[in-house]
Amino acid sequence: MTAANVYQQRPDDSVKAESPLHHAGFNELAGKGKSGAGVTLREKKLLAHLTLRGDSRDPAFAEGVHNALGLELPAALSLSTRDHVSLQWIGPDEFLLIAPRGEEFAIEQKLRLALGEQHIQVVNVSGGQTILELSGPKARDVLMKSTSYDVHPNTFPVGKAVGSVFAKTQLYIRHTGDDTYELLVRRSFADYIWAWLQDASGEYGLAVEG
């Protein structure tokens, strides 16, 4: 174990937690959209987000990550997934781990134990960002209106994840299923992206899930 000060950062359930889009009231909007909507939106909120940094060229780093998570280090622009845990390539020395709510403390401990004295960094960024999931037959059309990145399946297959410009700001697009995409949005931009997505998906019909 390293000398890093690791502690439980998530308050227990007696403390009220609000996601970055709490004020949008997705629970109240759920089921009120038109039937047959082209785009369905939901927030995958309050998940465990951990930034993991280390040298991906070092086999010891990849091995430690595998021992801790049972996941291979993802190659450039890709996503490793197992059960409800995903590991995303952000850069050659940076990865993003997303796990179910509340698991971040145990995962950080496992990572630090497995990576020992290696030159690495694990930071809990759960409070700083959220995930918006876009799905449906017109989800890709909404992306095409929003980003200059080529989201055609030939260049953006399932399992790929890219950082790009989006609606004049920046976010990560993760292709998680045939018609399903996740947008990794910074907390302070969540309201703006929500407004943008409502406008961009208006012509296709938008349904919100709580």
Residues that bind another protein (CB under 8 A): 76-77, 90-92, 94, 148-149, 162-165, 170
Of the pair 78, 86, the CB lying nearest another protein is at 78
Residue 67 or 188: the one with the smaller Cβ distance to another protein is 188
Q: Least distance from C-beta 54 to another protein, angstroms?
A: 15
- Give CA–CA dist 1/110, Å, rounded: 9
Residue closer to another protein (CB basis): 76 or 106: 76
Measured CA to CA, the distance from residue 208 to residue 210 in angstroms comes to 7
* Residue 86 parent element (H or E): strand 85-91
Shortest distance, position 143 Cβ to another protein, whole Å: 14
Pairing of strands 206-209, 39-44: parallel
**Minimum distance from CB of 146 to another protein (Å)?**
13
Cα angle value 139/143/144 (rounded, 5°)? 115
Question: Which amino acid belongs to residue 53?
Answer: R
CA distance 58 to 83: 26
Write down the least CB distance from residue 86 to another protein, Å.
18
- CB nearer another protein, residue 157 or residue 202: 157
